[in-house]
């Protein structure tokens, strides 16, 4: 592996990398790295489940593609892209086969426990190299290893008479982090967040894995059945040693990689979609989720990203396209509304079951047109319902409505802002903690939440019920004058100084406040937010923006907010109490945002004036300039 592992500048024209993914060798984790380093349009996935589509790159080259990654023989693209650099990851063949065995057993658990009526066909997500598995008899690990297709998988299916020295880089799964550092340096990749995914889903997998490895008779039998792969693996280890000897200061590279941070948060502007998780149940170590999801002009539902607590599940059974006449009746304009229901079944172990009580379940629907709006579910609420009088101040009438609104806001924070569980977040105009009500299940103890409001009653309630259970959730009341929330306040909203350090927060969210503040106060708050945000930090807020479209819809009578009374730099729905609802001319708001030191990352128009939208008001996501000097 001499020439194959020397540091060479990658070719920046056409396909740069051919990445061969051998099952159970951290290929899914490496795929996540590639998806952060390269854009979605630059990666082509070649997996069996794609059918004939997997061979498109052989038939018609796509000029924007830089990476081909998937389950295919190492020589598949040699003639088509002879200059591309080939990468492969290997793993101890005995351990790889045992891991594969328990994945297969997980499939069988789900398949054999399926009690559907046959009206729709289910499939398994995360099957990797196989299409939907078939129901089979129970096999021992030796019986599984004796199957011809399981023997010498690397040599027979992926190398096919090629040598490891034919590859630009052959990494070892057992040294994944260290080898990835070297690969990153070679290609000069930007920083990324290393996320280990596709963990073996079989209950008590790790203890059973160790038990099999401890049985020397079984290990010897598996070794004999995979002699060729074992020899290739030993060669890979030897070549790795030579590669390390040639590398300069690898230990320093590894130390630097430990503190490597992802400098660009993952944010998306999801498709316009609706959905709900109706039920979540656990029986026989299987978590079953049912609900519905449909998009507007995003195409049919194809799958989900599944998070339970802080763990992502890529292996689960999915049943899509279940008849949904109720959804069709309520949302007749959505794509495939008559077949929008789904059922997911996820295999979990005893420890995961014990944590389910207050673990946040997050489903991100994947439509043919892209990613939809995330849905959340919690088994049991941590907090009691707030007082009705506090809910009414933010236009909420029932506790269920509070839960939905709070989870919807958290969805915006996660998808649109890129909020991480370890972030510091400030909510302005928090009331009883509109965002906090769901963030208690998302933020880790290393993260923190600060709530700020003018209304003393809701803040007192929040302090009483949040802080004792979640010490990293804090609330601050300031005696600011406001005709709706604190008419006897002593401070002007345009004079308040936020009681937080400079460059402190990763994120600031303002759910409703800017729809109830006059221009001078809004401009002041934008500057205050810029002060307490870190450079590169983000702010998301809702507001009403007036432009030609919204003014036309108001004139036609389609608006829920009759914003017709013109004041200085704004319009209101009430000339006596303008703060009831205030809108701003769009160009003016954009000017204020720029003056405060922000750039606009996203701008989504709301439904308040009669549009079809996922939100009532406009949603703007801002980023603080990294060069701003407070």
Place of tokens 């997500």: 125
Q: pLDDT tier at 597 (50, 70, 90 boundaries)?
A: very high
Question: What is the C-alpha to C-alpha distance for residues 393 and 373, in angstroms, rounded to an integer?
Answer: 27
Question: What is the C-alpha to C-alpha distance for residues 566 and 589, in angstroms, rounded to an integer?
Answer: 16
By DSSP bridging, strand 43-46 and strand 85-90 are: unpaired
Taking only the tens place, the pLDDT of each residue in 394-448 is 667 667 788 889 999 999 999 999 999 999 999 999 999 999 999 999 999 999 9
Ramachandran sector of residue 616 (left: φ over 0; alpha: ψ -120 to 50; beta: rest)? alpha
Average pLDDT over residues 485-505: 93
pLDDT value for 257? 44
Residues near 353 by beta carbon (within 8 Å), at least 6 away in sequence:
282, 285
Give the other-Cβ count within 10 Å of 388's Cβ.
11
Backbone angles phi, psi at 284, to 5 degrees: 55, 45
Separation in Å, CA 571 to CA 203, 484, 518, 545: 59, 17, 9, 10
pLDDT value for 579? 92
Strand partners, 85: 17
Average pLDDT over residues 545-570: 90
**Cβ 114 vs Cβ 217: under 8 Å:** no
pLDDT value for 253? 45
pLDDT value for 122? 59
Taking Cα atoms as reference points, which of 382, 521, 393, 526 lies closest to residue 457?
Answer: 393
Residues near 548 by beta carbon (within 8 Å), at least 6 away in sequence:
none
Whether the per-residue pLDDT at 260 is higher than 50: the answer is no
Return the percentage of the chain with pLDDT > 70, whole number. Answer: 89
Separation in Å, CA 53 to CA 47, 56, 59, 276: 9, 5, 10, 32
pLDDT value for 134? 58
Taking Cα atoms as reference points, which of 470, 463, 389 lies closest to residue 433?
Answer: 463
Whether the per-residue pLDDT at 121 is higher than 60: the answer is no
Backbone angles phi, psi at 291, to 5 degrees: 170, -155
pLDDT value for 442? 95
pLDDT value for 508? 98
Whether the per-residue pLDDT at 2 is higher than 50: the answer is no
Q: pLDDT tier at 557 (50, 70, 90 boundaries)?
A: confident
Average pLDDT over residues 463-486: 93
Strand partners, 342: 291
Separation in Å, CA 32 to CA 38, 176, 270, 533: 10, 13, 19, 29
Q: In a 3-state reduction of DSSP, which class is residue 277?
A: strand
Q: Of 47-61, 158-172, 264-278, 500-514, give the lowest mean pLDDT range.
A: 47-61
CA 177 from chain centre, in angstroms, equals 22
Higher pLDDT pick, 47 / 387? 47
Q: pLDDT tier at 137 (50, 70, 90 boundaries)?
A: low
Q: pLDDT tier at 329 (50, 70, 90 boundaries)?
A: very high
Taking Cα atoms as reference points, which of 93, 86, 91 lies closest to residue 72?
Answer: 86
Higher pLDDT pick, 461 / 256? 461
Residues near 6 by beta carbon (within 8 Å), at least 6 away in sequence:
246
Q: Of 33-37, 108-112, 176-180, give the lowest mean pLDDT range.
A: 108-112
Q: pLDDT tier at 285 (50, 70, 90 boundaries)?
A: confident
CATH node for 2-94+142-258: 3.40.50
Taking Cα atoms as reference points, which of 145, 168, 148 lies closest to residue 156?
Answer: 148
pLDDT value for 13? 54
pLDDT value for 264? 56
Question: What is the C-alpha to C-alpha distance for residues 201 and 287, in angstroms, rounded to an integer?
Answer: 12
User: Taking the domains of the chain in order of start, what are their residue ranges?
Assistant: 2-94+142-258
Q: What is the DSSP string of 302-357?
A: EEEEEEETTEEE--EEEEEEE--HHHHHH-TTSTTGGG-EEEEEEE--HHHHHHGG
Whether the per-residue pLDDT at 612 is higher than 50: the answer is yes
Q: pLDDT tier at 8 (50, 70, 90 boundaries)?
A: very low
Radius of gyration over every alpha carbon of the chain, rounded to an integer in angstroms: 28
Average pLDDT over residues 468-494: 93
Place of tokens 């109490």: 577
Average pLDDT over residues 512-531: 96
Higher pLDDT pick, 51 / 564? 564
Ramachandran sector of residue 231 (left: φ over 0; alpha: ψ -120 to 50; beta: rest)? alpha
Whether the per-residue pLDDT at 250 is higher than 70: the answer is no
Taking only the tens place, the pLDDT of each residue in 21-55 is 999 999 889 998 999 899 888 999 998 877 888 88
Whether the per-residue pLDDT at 505 is higher than 90: the answer is yes
Whether the per-residue pLDDT at 252 is higher than 50: the answer is no
Higher pLDDT pick, 403 / 540? 540
Residues near 410 by beta carbon (within 8 Å), at least 6 away in sequence:
376, 419, 435, 438, 439, 442
Average pLDDT over residues 525-541: 96
Q: pLDDT tier at 20 (50, 70, 90 boundaries)?
A: very high
Q: How far apart are the first and last CA of the chain?
A: 53
Average pLDDT over residues 600-628: 90
Whether the per-residue pLDDT at 82 is higher than 50: the answer is yes
Q: Which residues of 243-281 are buried (b: 16+ CB within 10 A; e: fewer)?
A: beeebeebeeeeeebeeeeeeebebeebbbbbbebeebe
Whether the per-residue pLDDT at 1 is higher than 70: the answer is no
Whether the per-residue pLDDT at 483 is higher than 80: the answer is yes
pLDDT value for 133? 54
**Cβ 419 vs Cβ 447: under 8 Å:** no
Average pLDDT, the chain: 87
| Best mean pLDDT range from 193-207, 306-320, 430-444 | 430-444
Average pLDDT over residues 187-213: 83
Instruction: Indicate whether this model's pTM tops 0.75.
Output: yes
**Cβ 110 vs Cβ 124: under 8 Å:** yes
Taking only the tens place, the pLDDT of each residue in 157-166 is 999 889 999 9
Burial class from Cβ neighbours inside 10 Å (0-12, 13-18, 19+) for residue 90 reads buried
Burial class from Cβ neighbours inside 10 Å (0-12, 13-18, 19+) for residue 445 reads exposed
Q: In a 3-state reduction of DSSP, which class is residue 613?
A: coil
Average pLDDT over residues 172-183: 92
Question: What is the C-alpha to C-alpha distance for residues 163 and 167, in angstroms, rounded to an integer?
Answer: 8
Q: pLDDT tier at 627 (50, 70, 90 boundaries)?
A: low
Question: What is the C-alpha to C-alpha distance for residues 437 and 406, in angstroms, rounded to an integer?
Answer: 6
Whether the per-residue pLDDT at 629 is higher than 80: the answer is no
Ramachandran sector of residue 61 (left: φ over 0; alpha: ψ -120 to 50; beta: rest)? beta
pLDDT value for 118? 47
Separation in Å, CA 569 to CA 263, 444, 519: 37, 41, 6
Taking only the tens place, the pLDDT of each residue in 339-381 is 999 999 998 887 788 888 889 999 999 998 899 999 999 988 8
Return the percentage of the chain with pLDDT > 90, whole number. Answer: 63
Question: What is the C-alpha to C-alpha distance for residues 476 and 451, in angstroms, rounded to an integer?
Answer: 6
Q: pLDDT tier at 83 (50, 70, 90 boundaries)?
A: very high
Question: What is the C-alpha to C-alpha distance for residues 79 and 3, in angstroms, rounded to an integer?
Answer: 19
Q: Which two tokens stand for residue 297?
A: 């002009």
């Amino acid at each position: 592996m001499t020439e194959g592992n020397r540091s060479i500048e990658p070719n920046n024209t056409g396909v740069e990398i051919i990445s061969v993914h051998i099952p159970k060798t951290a290929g899914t984790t490496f795929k996540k790295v590639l998806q952060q380093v390269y854009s979605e349009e630059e990666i082509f996935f070649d997996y069996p489940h794609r059918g004939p589509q997997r061979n498109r790159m052989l038939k018609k080259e796509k000029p924007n593609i830089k990476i081909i990654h998937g389950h295919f023989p190492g020589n598949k693209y040699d003639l088509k892209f002879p200059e591309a650099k080939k990468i492969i990851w290997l793993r101890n063949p005995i351990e790889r086969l045992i891991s594969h065995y328990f994945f297969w057993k997980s499939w069988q658990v789900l398949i054999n426990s399926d009690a559907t009526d046959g009206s729709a066909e289910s499939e398994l997500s995360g099957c990797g190299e196989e299409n939907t598995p078939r129901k089979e008899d129970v096999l021992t690990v030796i019986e599984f290893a004796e199957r011809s297709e399981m023997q010498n998988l690397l040599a027979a299916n992926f190398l096919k008479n090629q040598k490891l020295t034919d590859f630009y880089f052959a990494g070892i799964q057992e040294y994944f982090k260290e080898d990835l550092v070297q690969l990153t340096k070679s290609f000069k990749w930007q920083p990324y967040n290393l996320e280990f995914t596709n963990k073996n889903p079989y209950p008590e997998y790790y203890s059973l894995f160790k038990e099999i490895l401890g049985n020397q008779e079984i290990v010897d039998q598996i070794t004999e059945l995979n002699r060729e792969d074992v020899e290739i693996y030993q060669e890979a280890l030897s070549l790795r040693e030579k590669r390390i000897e040639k590398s300069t200061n690898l230990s320093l590279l590894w130390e630097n990689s430990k503190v490597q941070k992802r400098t660009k948060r993952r944010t998306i502007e999801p498709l316009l979609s609706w959905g709900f998780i109706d039920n979540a149940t656990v029986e026989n170590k299987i978590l079953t989720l049912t609900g519905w999801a449909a998009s507007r002009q995003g195409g049919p539902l194809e799958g989900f990203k599944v998070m339970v607590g802080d763990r992502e599940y890529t292996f689960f059974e999915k049943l899509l396209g279940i008849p949904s006449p109720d959804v069709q009746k309520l949302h007749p304009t959505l794509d495939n509304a008559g077949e929008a229901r789904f059922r997911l079944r996820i295999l979990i172990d005893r420890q995961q079951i014990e944590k389910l009580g207050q673990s946040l379940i997050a489903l991100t629907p994947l439509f043919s047109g892209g990613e939809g709006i995330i849905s959340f579910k919690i088994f049991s609420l941590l907090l009691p319902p707030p007082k009705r009088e506090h809910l009414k101040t933010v236009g909420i009438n029932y506790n269920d409505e509070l839960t939905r609104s709070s989870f919807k806001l958290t969805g915006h924070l996660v998808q649109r802002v890129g909020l991480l569980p370890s972030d510091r977040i400030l909510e302005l105009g928090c009331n009883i903690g509109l965002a906090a009500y769901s963030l208690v299940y998302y933020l880790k103890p290393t993260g923190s939440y600060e709530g700020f409001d003018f209304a003393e009653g809701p803040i007192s309630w929040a302090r009483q019920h949040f802080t004792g259970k979640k010490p990293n959730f804090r609330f601050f009341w300031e005696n600011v004058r406001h005709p709706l929330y604190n008419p006897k306040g002593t401070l002007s909203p345009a004079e308040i100084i936020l009681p937080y350090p400079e460059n402190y927060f990763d994120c600031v969210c303002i759910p409703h406040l800017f729809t109830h503040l006059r221009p001078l106060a809004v401009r002041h708050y934008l500057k205050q937010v810029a002060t307490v945000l870190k450079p590169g930090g983000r702010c998301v807020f809702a507001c009403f923006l007036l432009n030609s479209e919204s003014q036309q819809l108001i004139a036609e009578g389609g608006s829920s907010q009759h914003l017709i009374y013109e004041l200085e730099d704004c319009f209101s729905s009430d000339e006596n109490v303008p703060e009831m609802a205030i809108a701003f001319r769009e160009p003016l708001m954009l000017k204020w945002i720029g003056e405060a030191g922000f750039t606009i990352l996203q701008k989504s128009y709301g439904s308040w004036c009669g549009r079809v939208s996922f939100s009532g008001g406009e949603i703007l996501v801002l980023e603080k300039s990294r060069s701003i000097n407070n």
